[in-house]
Amino acid sequence: MTQFITFTVIGLATGAIYAIASAGLVVTYTTSGIFNFSHGAIGMFTAFVYWQLRWDDSWGGQWPAPIALIFVLLVIAPLIGILLQLAVMRGLEGTSETTKLVIPIAVMLAFIGATNWIWQGAEQRIPKPFFGRNAKWSIGDAYITWHQTIIVIVAVLLAIGLRFLLFNTRAGVAMRAVVDNRELVQLNGGRPDRAALLSWAIGAIMAAIAGILISPLLGGLGVLALTLLVVNAYAAAIFGRLRNLPLTFLGGLIIGVSVSYWNWLSGTGQKWPWLSELRTSLPVVILFVVLLLLPQDRLRGGRVSKTREWFLAPTAGKAIVWSGIFIVIIAGLSLILTLKWEALLTRGLTMAVIALSMVLLTGYAGEINLAPLAFAGIGAIAAFQFEVGSGVETGIGFATLAVLLAVAFGFLVFPAFGIVGRKLFVSIICFSSFVLVLVCVFDSTTGTGIASRETMSLTAFVIAALVSGFTGALVALPALRLRGLYLGLATFAFAIFVDKMVYKQRQTLKLDVPFIGDGEDISINIFNNGALNIPRPGFFGIDFVNNQWAMLILSSIVFSGISICLVVLRRSSYGRQLTAMKDSPAACATLGMNMKRLKLSVFTLAAAIAGFGGALHASNLRTIQEDYPFTIWEGLALFMLTVVGGIGYVSGALIGGLVYACAFVVMGDFWGKLANDWGSFRWLFTVLQDFFLLLGPALAGIGLGRNPSGIASQFFEGYASLKLKANRAVLIIGLMGVVAVWGLRVISVIDGWTFLLIASPILLLMPVIGEANLESKARVSESPLELAGLDYDISPELLQELDEKVGIADNYLTTRTTSFGRRK
Amino acid sequence: MNILEIEEVTVRFGGHTAINNMSLEVPVGTITGLIGPNGAGKTTLFNVISGLLPPSQGEVYFDGHKITTIPPYRRAQIGLGRTFQRLELFTSLTVKDNIRVAAEIRNQWSLGKNNDSRLGLGGLTIQEEVEKAIELTGLAGIADRQVTEIPTGQARLVELARALTLRPKLLMLDEPASGQDETETERFGNLLRTLTLNGIAILLVEHDMGLVMTVCDLVHVLDFGEIISIGTPEEIQTNKAVLDAYLGSES
């Protein structure tokens, strides 16, 4: 009984904190339509500020609790909320759901970066509970701390207060009105902007309260741990369908209590070692389940409005040409890069391969997946287990497993490409035999018992793709009904689940494949001791182990190959169907499309690409750890940067991967070098270095609001003028300049930084000069079209333009006017 | 014979009854008009028939089968096509690709089924199928333009062409003529007539009374979720209840 009371009280207290946090989330969501992913990070940040004011020795510190509370809750938090709304969130109207999700993620990463920047150093920061650790009272033998008591009281007061605010005050009614119909509020003289400001301020205050209340329960302040704790509240918000406050509060309490009871039941994770991490991942499991049970918005007409995002589809020919150019550029660069930069560039390219999975899934098909790196991680683990393994008779077990996976893959993917009936069976048999041959013939480990290899075979990469693809299907299958934000949250839950349950798994998985071998056919120590040593690839007789250059070229070829496939795919019937599904699910359904099958296939394919890329990335790194590089945070950053790069394009994935892995390191290094060279400005350059390393990615993400189509499309627009004949001279001279500088670097006349400082301005100035060049040449065509033939003669080009403008058949006017003899 | 029968369908949104105990039949090879003031429940009825919205009560029969509970895409596959009042075009694609993807979707699900002449593309390649639909709807001049660039009137034709690639038995058109000028509407009326000659039944929601009165065989008038009158266009034009609903009871 005593235990029951104790665990119930603990559960209610944490549940109450979740309830407070999620209520803040609901308030901002209902008034702005934006799911504030950064909510958890705001709570974390304000908890750090509070700690600074109360307990730090060097600065601030020793403020009395009431004053510190008032300062944080009534000054800092509302300011954060208001600034966020004014500077960032307000600009998100009319953007796609992907963009609406990415910007708050960027803000979250910005808060994490800023906190890491401000509160550097490994010192322990321990916040104390209210009235100290020993202030408690008791029911029977069970003690209840004053801190817990306060939490529950605060939650109740806030619940009543919010209810009063929303239903009994003018401001609250205005907020609710904005939810119902923003335009109508405006027409009636209301001010939706002011209501939005108020709701963001309230949301931030709620996050701050939750952060301050929960931080003493953690022991020491930890940036990610604290953020993640408040993230647990997301499940509660979904419980209330992001609308209903009482249900949200109930959801919070249910989550808190179930986690607490699970701890009680499992002896804080001691009883069942396999599930030991479930105590930290239970909230996201609940989140996933609640999402599945949630009644979904039905398909309905009228949801489609043109969003600001816009992606063109390149042709296969162009993709092949550009891939060739790309590989040449990489090869050229490799001549002037030191080993360190070669390794960094490889890291960027392998990340770009993983990012390609998001181009397919999110860019083409419009399905949001926040767990790209979870799939990559699973792929890397699968490749490791296959190649290095650790168990008994791994070979036979894996061969059977591989064939089963190949069959499953065939059933999931092939039908969506129109392969059905007898053809389907033939293709699946061919595909699985191919995999079997790969496993048996080309891999010497098979059947040899304990395998331990220096290098990774081609087969391991195929296995990585298959395992990851199958996992993708498993995740997607229950989540097929979900769309947009809800799908994003479901995959987010999955990513956290993988972080906790797979990467932190220390148990050995033993599997008996029926009818084959004796006893345990597969024995896998999933993530032994928190680090896996992944071998480098070894095939075609090339030394990838000691040769970073080979690794770099391999990555660029893999990236190009998959990119070309994706471009071809997009132009195929399959790709058009994905686009159709993204643009209008309702129309697809009424045209007879079975969207579930299509979604399942694209999820499987995308996860397979991610798994393949993950194996490649890990193999380049040689080691992966439980907290690097495939965690949820890295995954969110990669997702964000790929969207920034332009998620509708394969080049967007390239930009995303490179920026993620290289750009900010390069900039950080640049300032670091300056700090070394000019000692007197050291402090300034160090600040700049930290700034780029810690905040750069997040700020790039926030900047997306201005151009939701991403960097790639800006790039295409900017350099479009260089494709014209008139600018050929500019193009050639510019490129020759870059090649010349490159040549100087190859023969070591200049150093790397000089190369960068000369080459990049040339590349950046080329489109500017091109534009100026065009402008000076093309004054005439700027005259209004109506004056054509009056003020100036009609040229063939102009005729064509007129044809296009009035939308008649190609060359109609062109051919017609020739017979009148007016053509010049 | 009726291609579509609706039996005592009721749809409630919370406390609001959008459709109240409505029954309706669409005979094979005819054009049935559905008119009524805004909010009468016309689009809601369309959503119920095409499966986007489950009715609170009642049944829907199509071609002799009960389809009340089957998903929208299955309904499309047995020959139920529709367009949308608020355009649902594939905005990233060109006019031609909008139609092409519809033909491809059709090709996809009809593959591997038996050689019923309605299934597959009936001997036509996708390309030919698309060209046929484009020619029929007169979209040839703008086939290669992005659908976001073309005027609403023509965008509605794209939706029609897209629905036609389904080879529907019943075509439900939700205000197809809005955004079209007079000549376009006239041409459109002739097109609808041509379609019925090929055996397609049409259920037409339209505010352009000229079009409704010239092409429809039978007109149903809806008001507040109920059918207040059924008749030929001539009968409807002189019916007092209809005039009241449209012009207010004072007149």
| pLDDT digits 0-9 by tens, A715-744 | 888 888 888 888 888 888 889 999 999 999
Contact A603, A476 (CB under 8 A): yes
Taking an 8 Å cut-off on Cβ atoms, the answer to whether A589 and B141 are in contact is no
The residue ranking higher by pLDDT, A333 or A180, is A333
Residues A210 and A186 in one domain: yes
Taking an 8 Å cut-off on Cβ atoms, the answer to whether B52 and A299 are in contact is yes
Total of domains in chain A: 4
Name the nearest CA neighbour of A477 among A292, A327, A316, A318.
Answer: A292
Q: Does B43 fall in a domain? A: no
| pLDDT on residue A818 | 42
Q: Does B245 fall in a domain? A: no
Given a cut of 90, whether residue A420 has pLDDT beyond it is: no
Q: Does B224 fall in a domain? A: no
Q: Does A273 fall in a domain? A: no
What whole-number distance in Å separates Cα of residue B71 and Cα of residue A312?
32
- Chain A within 8 Å of B50 (Cβ-Cβ)? yes
Task: Give the nearest chain B residue to A580 (CA atoms).
Answer: B90
Taking an 8 Å cut-off on Cβ atoms, the answer to whether B92 and A583 are in contact is yes
Tell me whether residue A116 is exposed, middle or buried, using C-beta atoms within 10 angstroms of its C-beta: 0 to 12, 13 to 18, 19 or more. middle
| pLDDT on residue A390 | 53
| pLDDT on residue A793 | 65
- Chain B within 8 Å of A805 (Cβ-Cβ)? no
Given B43, B91, B159, which is nearest A583 (Cβ)? B91
Q: Does A645 fall in a domain? A: yes
Token pair belonging to A671? 């300032």
Q: Does B209 fall in a domain? A: no
Given B88, B112, B165, which is nearest A584 (Cβ)? B88
Given a cut of 90, whether residue A203 has pLDDT beyond it is: yes
What whole-number distance in Å separates Cα of residue A429 and Cα of residue A437?
12
- Which domain range does residue B118 map to? 90-167
> Which domain-ending residue is among A221, A254, A287?
A254
C-alpha distance from B42 to closest chain A C-alpha (Å): 13
pLDDT, averaged across chain A:
84
Name the nearest CA neighbour of A589 among B166, B232, B60.
Answer: B166
Task: Give the nearest chain A residue to B167 (CA atoms).
Answer: A591
Residues A40 and A155 in one domain: yes
Q: Across A226-235, A461-470, A811-820, B13-22, which has the greatest mean pLDDT?
A: A461-470
Name the nearest CA neighbour of A444 among A430, A459, A464.
Answer: A459
Q: Does A297 fall in a domain? A: no
Least confident among A286-300, B38-52, B86-100: A286-300
C-alpha distance from A109 to closest chain B C-alpha (Å): 31
Mutate to test the interface with A, among B91, B142, B144, B156 (most CBs of A within 10 A): B91
Residues A121 and A162 in one domain: yes
| Long-range pairs for A72-78: beta carbons < 8 A, 24 or more residues apart | A72/A46, A72/A208, A72/A212, A73/A205, A73/A208, A73/A209, A73/A212, A74/A205, A76/A46, A76/A49, A76/A208, A77/A42, A77/A46, A77/A201, A77/A204, A77/A205, A77/A207, A77/A208, A78/A201, A78/A204, A78/A205
Taking an 8 Å cut-off on Cβ atoms, the answer to whether B91 and A298 are in contact is no
- Chain A within 8 Å of B82 (Cβ-Cβ)? yes
Given a cut of 70, whether residue A789 has pLDDT beyond it is: no
Given a cut of 90, whether residue A654 has pLDDT beyond it is: yes
Residues A137 and A167 in one domain: yes
DSSP B7: E
Residues A698 and A730 in one domain: no
Task: Give the nearest chain B residue to A312 (CA atoms).
Answer: B92
- Chain B within 8 Å of A421 (Cβ-Cβ)? yes
Q: Does A713 fall in a domain? A: no
Residues A574 and A696 in one domain: yes
The residue ranking higher by pLDDT, B167 or A347, is A347
| pLDDT on residue A687 | 83
Given a cut of 70, whether residue B251 has pLDDT beyond it is: no
Task: Give the nearest chain A residue to B47 (CA atoms).
Answer: A300
Q: Does A287 fall in a domain? A: no
| pLDDT on residue A569 | 94
Taking an 8 Å cut-off on Cβ atoms, the answer to whether A579 and B90 are in contact is yes
Mean pLDDT of the region B144-150: 89
| pLDDT on residue A452 | 47
Given A304, A573, A595, which is nearest B104 (Cβ)? A573
What whole-number distance in Å separates Cα of residue A367 and Cα of residue A485?
9
Distances (CA, A) of B167 to A475, A584, B198: 36, 20, 10
Task: Give the nearest chain A residue to B87 (CA atoms).
Answer: A302
Q: Does B95 fall in a domain? A: yes
Task: Give the nearest chain B residue to A571 (CA atoms).
Answer: B97
Contact residues, chain B, for A365 at CB < 8 Å: none
- Find the helix packing angle between A595-621 and A394-413, rounded to 10°: 140
Residues A642 and A733 in one domain: no
Percent of chain B with pLDDT over 70: 93
Residues A772 and A791 in one domain: no
Residues A628 and A765 in one domain: no
Q: Does B160 fall in a domain? A: yes
Taking an 8 Å cut-off on Cβ atoms, the answer to whether B93 and A580 are in contact is yes
Residues A349 and A431 in one domain: yes
Q: Does A212 fall in a domain? A: yes
Q: Does A714 fall in a domain? A: no
What whole-number distance in Å separates Cα of residue A14 and Cα of residue A11?
5
Residues A586 and A549 in one domain: yes
Total of domains in chain B: 1
What whole-number distance in Å separates Cα of residue A814 and Cα of residue A809?
10
Q: Does A296 fall in a domain? A: no
Residues A650 and A769 in one domain: no
Q: Does B202 fall in a domain? A: no
Chains A, B: CB pairs < 8 Å: 126
- Which domain range does residue A789 map to? 781-820
Q: Does B155 fall in a domain? A: yes
